[in-house]
Chain A
Amino acid sequence: MSKISISDIEKVANLARIEISQDRLDSICLEFNSILEFVDTIENADTGGIIPTSQVTGINGVSREDKVTKSQVAPEDLLALAPETQDGYVKVRKVL
């Protein structure tokens, strides 16, 4: 039995703002489930007593002094990257 249904795929795609055409849903669903099967294999490993690891660099507590510094890229150049602007604002489709 599949773990992931077509509607799960549609939901995740929507959350990630990815458009998936109807004719590809079946194949993606299959791929998704085979990836999860692979995860199942990993889950068989005995991890009792092991602290979850999300970083392996060993780097610790990188921080900076609370000081105002200038942007490496000028704010107006950053703003110019936006598809549309108005009076210094980034203009987007109406959201409420």
Chain B
Amino acid sequence: MSKYKPTIGIEIHTQLATKSKMFCGCDNDSRGAKPNTNICQVCYALPGSLPVVNRGAIAMAIKMAIGFNSKIADVTSFDRKNYFYPDSPKGYQITQMDQPIIQDGFVEILVDGEFKKIGIHHAHLEEDAGKLTHPEGSEYSLVDFNRAGTPLVEIVSEPDIKSPEEAKRFLQEIHNIVTSLGICNGDMEHGNFKFDLNVSISDTDELGTRVELKNLNSFRNAERALKYEIKRQEDMLAEGKVISQETRGWNDAKSKTFAQRSKEEANDYRYFPEPDLPPFNLDRDFVSDIQKEITVLPIEIRKDLNNLGLSVDDQDLLISQPNTASIFADARKILKKDNLSKKAVNWLVGDYQAIKSGLKKDKLSGGNLAELVGLVDSGEISSKIAKDIFRDVCEGDSPADIIVSKGLVLLSDDSQLEEIILKIINDNPKPTSDYRAGSEKVLGFFVGQVMKETKGQANPSKVNELVVKLLKG
């Protein structure tokens, strides 16, 4: 155990899944589009053009605030961050500095079975820049402005994170929140969700020198980069070296962090209030309408699943699929009991995941899932039959209808079953006398024969009970 304790703070850039861009009506989805085809006079910064705020982006930020247990600002306003770079047509970025839309919240992460709060310092709306490419061996760079003006929310955590594992869980939790609320598509390969990690180590109460690891886009690499960086800093201190405040990148192939040329200092950005956009008073009715759209928060689902004793992986799976989570929520309301709800989860994380992509139509409902669990629980169908009909249930059929139409109702009728069992006893004198002589293990043989005779449609516990009764004569 090292004597140095790490302190980690994280900044996350999430691209919002709005239809149009932040300040203009250009299509916000440029996947597959040719370069510079989703641009207009505003995002291309033609002189005289003016930005207008996208109400949908404001609404999504409010949803995020609710997900972060934050207070929602009464007034939010925009600021101008000045810098020259070819990816920015205006020569500045419209962002928020003084009055960000999300202030002072927290998320809860599950660490070693305990919930821990990680503070959200604030989160602000801003616009993305264009995309630069640098063709190999060439003396020029190419710019595509389709991405310029895409709405972003930058989320800034408090330095409450104490280990690379916690950092990873925090990132996953934020990803869960923004994807399940439908705010962000969460596609990390395509830059929907990127982050910078600030890390320092110290063996006293005072914080050490902070190093920023820039532009990561995978949970695994975040954890690896932090582990590497913490070790690097420990080694430096052990050798009596001084850690310099710097920006570093992560080289995945070499599994190392490396020093990067730092850009401008914060005060070089010469922030000032954006003159083209009046401040935004957030109307309480607008906010409460958005609040009503959120039925359940990921953390509530997680706490419920955690109480049911589900593994963190299963929790993540369910939470990361909003549709599956809502099927569960509906089934849970009907089933109520924990043991039955857990069976519903098992269907969702097991069989459902396995067949989901191959379904003709994915129409599994919470009601039908609850019905299926109920039918197995009451013994009306065996779990084998439940498995056999599950695909139909996923395609929208009611389990009760399926078992009636396919004649799959379990035989629970005593006289019908007794008739079958007596015939089997008569046909098998040897096992019968074995049982009567004290060999309990032949019981399985009889039960098996009954199931075979009834094509698996007999209620197993009923069969057991009757076989014992009749063998004892």
- Out of B19, B41, B264, which one reaches A15, CB within 8 Å? B264
B139 within 8 A of A: yes
B379 at interface, CB cutoff 8 A: no
The reply on B239 being an interface residue by CB < 8 A is no
Are B273 and A93 in contact (CB-based, < 8 A)? Answer: no
- Neighbouring A residues of B144 by C-beta, 8 Å: 88-90
B38-A75 in contact (CB<8A): yes
A17 to B92, CA, bound (A): 13
Docked-complex contact A75 and B140, CB < 8 angstroms? no
Q: Which of A15, A59, A72 contacts B278 (CB 8 A)?
A: A59
Bound Cα distance from A90 to B145, whole angstroms: 9
B278 touches A61 (CB 8 A): yes
B143 close to A90 (CB less than 8 A)? yes
Interface residue ranges of B24-58 to A (CB < 8 Å):
24-28, 34-41, 44, 46, 52-58
- Minimum CB–CB distance from B305 to chain A (whole Å) comes to 33
Please give the distance in Å from B326's CB to the nearest CB on chain A: 23
- In the assembled complex, which residues on chain B have CB atoms less than 8 Å from the CB atom of A54? 77, 272-273, 275
Closest to A96 in B: B134
The contact of B140 among A60, A63, A68, A91, by CB within 8 Å, is A91
Chain B 129-166 against A: per-residue CB contact (8 Å), 1 yes, 0 no? 00011100011111111000000000000000000000
In the complex, are the beta carbons of A65 and B39 less than 8 A apart? no
Q: Is residue A43 within 8 Å, beta carbon to beta carbon, of the partner chain?
A: no
Set A70, A73, A86: member contacting B142, Cβ < 8 A = A86
Chain A residue with minimal CB distance to B23?
Answer: A64
The reply to whether B273 and A66 form a contact with Cβ atoms under 8 Å apart is no
Interface membership of A57, Cβ < 8 A? yes
Whether A55 pairs with B273 at a CB distance below 8 angstroms is yes
Bound-state CA distance A71–B149 (Å) is 14
| A96, B34: Cα distance in complex, Å | 23
Contact of A67 with B37 in the complex, beta carbons under 8 Å: no
Q: Find out whether the CB atom of A78 lies under 8 angstroms from the CB atom of B279.
A: no
List, in ascending order, chain A residues with CB within 8 A of B58's CB: 63
| Interface membership of B401, Cβ < 8 A | no
Using known A-B contacts A15-B270, A63-B54, A63-B58, determine if residue A92 contacts B36 with beta carbons closer than 8 Å: no
Would A89 and B54 count as touching, CB distance under 8 A?
Answer: no
Total contacts A-B at CB 8 Å: 138
Of all chain B residues, which has the CB nearest A93? B140
Judged by a CB distance under 8 angstroms, whether A24 is at the interface is: no
In the complex, A71→B133 CA distance in Å? 25
Residues 64-108 of chain B, each 1 if its beta carbon lies under 8 Å from chain A, else 0: 000000000000010000111110000000000000000000000
- Tell me if A40 counts as interface (CB < 8 A to partner B): no
A87 at the interface (CB under 8 A from B): yes
B278 touches A60 (CB 8 A): yes
- B426 at interface, CB cutoff 8 A: no
Q: How many angstroms between the C-alpha atoms of A79 and B378 in the bound complex?
A: 68
**Closest residue on chain A to residue B16 by CB atoms:** A66
Using C-beta atoms within 8 Å of the partner chain, give the interface range for chain A.
35 or more
Most buried by B among A17, A66, A72, A88: A66
Q: Is the CB of B138 within 8 A of A60?
A: no
Asked whether A95 is an interface residue with its Cβ less than 8 Å from the other chain, the reply is yes
> Is B382 close to A, CB under 8 A?
no
Contact of B141 among A64, A67, A93 (CB under 8 A): A93
Q: Do residues B37 and A78 form an inter-chain contact, with CB atoms below 8 A?
A: no
Asked whether B341 is an interface residue with its Cβ less than 8 Å from the other chain, the reply is: no
Shortest beta-carbon distance from B143 to chain A in Å: 4
> Are B85 and A95 in contact (CB-based, < 8 A)?
yes
B185-199 CB contacts (< 8 Å) to partner A: none
> A62 contacts the other chain (Cβ, under 8 Å)?
yes
Evaluate contact between A71 and B40: CB separation under 8 angstroms: yes
Inter-chain contact A66/B268, CB cutoff 8 Å = no
In the complex, what residue of chain A is closest to B41 when comparing beta carbons?
A73
B139 touches A94 (CB 8 A): yes
C-alpha spacing A70/B270, complex, angstroms: 33
Give A73's nearest chain B residue, CB to CB.
B41
Do B53 and A64 have beta carbons less than 8 Å apart? yes
Give the distance to chain B from A91, nearest Cβ to Cβ, in Å: 5
CA gap between A75 and B89 in the complex, in Å? 14
B40, B52, B86: which contacts A62 (Cβ < 8 A)? Answer: B52
Over the window 270-303 of chain B, the binary record of Cβ atoms lying under 8 Å from chain A Cβ atoms (1 yes, 0 no) is: 1011010111111100000000000000000000
Residues of A within 8 A of B41 (CB): 71-73, 78
How far, in Å, is B132 (CB) from chain A's closest CB?
Answer: 7
- Structural contact, A75 and B56, CB atoms closer than 8 A: no
- Tell yes or no: B459 within 8 A of A by CB: no
Give B83 Cβ to nearest chain A Cβ, in Å. 8
| Minimum distance in angstroms from B174 CB to a CB of chain A | 23
Interface positions, chain A 3-37, Cβ under 8 Å from B, are: 15, 17
Q: When A94-B138, A94-B141 are in contact, do A66 and B19 touch as well, CB less than 8 Å?
A: yes
- Report whether B38 and A65 are in contact in the complex, using a CB–CB cutoff of 8 Å: no
Known: A62-B53, A64-B54, A73-B46. 4 other contacts (CB 8 A): A60-B280, A66-B57, A69-B26, A70-B25
Give residues in B with beta carbon < 8 Å to A: 18-20, 24-28, 34-41, 44, 46, 52-59, 77, 82-86, 132-134, 138-145, 264, 268, 270, 272-273, 275, 277-283
